Amino acid sequence: MGYKVAIVGATGNVGREMLNILEERGFPADEVVALASRRSQGTDVSYGDKTLKVRSLEQYDFSDTDICLMSAGGAVSKEWSPKIGKQGCVVIDNSSAFRYDPDVPLIVPEVNADAVTGFTKKNIIANPNCSTAQMLVALKPLHDHATIKRVVVSTYQSVSGAGKDGMDELFTQTRAIFVADSVENKKFTKRIAFNVIPHIDVFMEDGTTKEEWKMVAETKKMLDPKIKVTATCVRVPVFIGHSEAINLEFEKPITAEEARDILREAPGCQVIDKHEDGGYITPLESAGEDATFISRIREDSTLDNGLNIWVVSDNLRKGAALNAVQIAELLLERDLIKPRKQAA
């Protein structure tokens, strides 16, 4: 007997990717239900070689559903995730709504899988921010070996992190520039085509943006509360794939060669680090891939125990949809949920 899985936000970039990944990985689902707002009701979405009709979230009964993959934004999640959880369905939420709730585990399976057992308090598990997820996949094995004291990270985040509207705006602006049309900014605060914007999410009182704050708070919650983190998050004119330049300071000595060896063996990591033209990863190559790629591993001579690394991943997959499906797989592997139809 397989599981019944609902995807909320099935018409969005991440929702569609969740459907693709469930099918690709052979998740044991007897039934998959695509849900969205009333205005998307009746839309067709693909699940393997099947076509699913999108149903209305407002009219759906979760009482016989085992897992809900939620990717409809923070406001929808705040309203619906607790209601769904109370019906006995485990919610794996991709928004920021519950990431900092002490009663909701924030999970990257390669980083802190053991924390998943805490989901029973609210029947909600949070998926981290896309930029944090890929960073911690790379940092966890290094932290285990030499204990990270401080992280300085600068991100180069693709427009797909801002949803379909962000991708459409980059495409539309780029085309407009080539044909000498006027360029409009709708999704982003400044022109994104042929530009970079050091502003993701809202500004906070101290001048950091919410995106930067998320990377700090989530690293402390998932990896180690003692780690000092400072981030600068930048939107770049790339469709898919987030990149990060990360400077690390460790308590114990670690060489670049040791770091390469550790990361080559680490779950979810793939090292591409040759000291030659093209011997590194870019976001273009990461699109559609599951791995977190690490390149440009080198020692920082300005620190006693310092390293620089370059980390790239498909933000729609490991940064969102893949991580959510991996959390669902983790629940099954650890025998933490059973199909409700079977139990009945």
Helices (H), the chain: 13-24, 74-86, 109-112, 130-146, 163-178, 210-222, 256-265, 283-286, 322-333, 340-343
13 is in an annotated binding site: yes
157 is in an annotated binding site: yes
Catalytic residues: 130, 242
pLDDT at 190: 98
160 is in an annotated binding site: yes
CB 229 within 8 A of CB 142: no
95 is in an annotated binding site: no
166 is in an annotated binding site: no
pLDDT at 343: 54
pLDDT at 228: 98
Classify 269 as helix, strand or coil: strand
Q: Which residues contact 87 (CB under 8 A, 6 or more apart)?
A: 61, 62, 63, 65
Residue range 280-298, pLDDT digits in tens: 999 999 999 999 999 999 9
118 is in an annotated binding site: no
Residue range 110-139, pLDDT digits in tens: 999 999 999 999 999 999 999 999 999 999
Residue range 184-240, pLDDT digits in tens: 999 999 999 999 999 999 999 999 999 999 999 999 999 999 999 999 999 999 999
pLDDT at 320: 96
pLDDT at 340: 83
**pTM greater than 0.75 (yes/no):** yes
